[in-house]
Structure 1
Amino acid sequence: MDLSVIRLTHCNRSIFSVCVPEACPSCGATLRGNRLSEAPVSVPTPFTNAHKGGCCLLIQGDFDGTSDLHTGISNTTGAVYNYTPAGLSVSLSGWERCVSVPLVRPDMFPLLSHFHEDDHNCFSFCLGFINSVLGAEGRGPLSKHDFTQSYILPRVRRASKYNTLITHLSKERYYMVEREGEDM
């Protein structure tokens, strides 16, 4: 289970922690919360339990840049359709910590029956399904590059940053960054 992370700003820094400090860990000043801009806010986790939601493209992995990612599609009941070396699989567990991309309408799941298991991997399975949905809506297909750039990479980058933050905060009390360019 991930730690609950908060962010506060002080002395032109974003300060991440699992608790609100009494004094700024950078300058030592007492944190009174006099200004709304300095109020602590919760940092939402980018991860979700796919079995409790539905109708999403899912990305699963360590998000550390050293392991492969796996993709799947969840239905309205939380079953995850994913392609494994053994072929198309329906998983009712194992997707409790994944990144979710809400792209799929519930009425589009019959399109899964049009999927052919030959010569596919989990990514092409999901992209093929998404392109089937787009085609049924009268829209053009996405290329692998466009799909990856628009939907996969932004969420994987956010998950990777969050994992790095959690790893740091499990060892240290604070993580501080200069405010410019901050996008967490």
Structure 2
Amino acid sequence: MFASLVWAFVILLLKDVVSIGFEYVYMRVVDPPGLPNLMKLSLAQIGPRFNLTSPTYLSHFNPENACSQANDLPFEGTVNIQLLAQTIALIARGGCSFVTKVINAHIAGSAAAVIYDLNPRATQTFSMIQDETNRRVLIPCAFMNGKDGHALTVALSSLNTTRALVDFPLQSPVIPTPKEVNFRLWPLR
């Protein structure tokens, strides 16, 4: 009897822990060749679902941290506002809230936003959340770890380009979280 109660308690705890998990999508660099290939992005808890089915361009945002609206003039290492239209904006973390960054990317015409950590050694990702304002995010957004973000930006810079063609090869970006843990402690007889 006691063992059954303990396992019931463990199952309840597991259900809570498992349901806290992040959702991920994988982004692949198609062109130019030689860039880091597959990157894991954690989906934001703000904005619509990340559902891009065809290849699209990932472009540096100007200003790099997207804390103000896009500049109309070309800037070294970035693209101007005309080239941002219908691309995924690549934005550096820091300086302002994720919501501000994504809204500025949307105003510039971006179809989505990927924000990367500035720490080139960071390998963890996390899910972006709403800030203290009531502003709504209207485009999909995700977070990229600093290691991948740094590798991507350095590779683009070394090729003297500001954008890369990317796609999302895995059609099931969400890691399922079970509603129930379904197992037996003892085998059936």
User: Per the shorter chain, which TM-score range?
Assistant: under 0.3
What TM-score does the superposition give when structure 1 sets the normalisation length?
A: 0.26
Q: RCO greater where, 1 or 2, for CA within 8 Å and sep 6 or more?
A: 2
More helix by share: 1
What TM-score does the superposition give when structure 2 sets the normalisation length?
A: 0.25
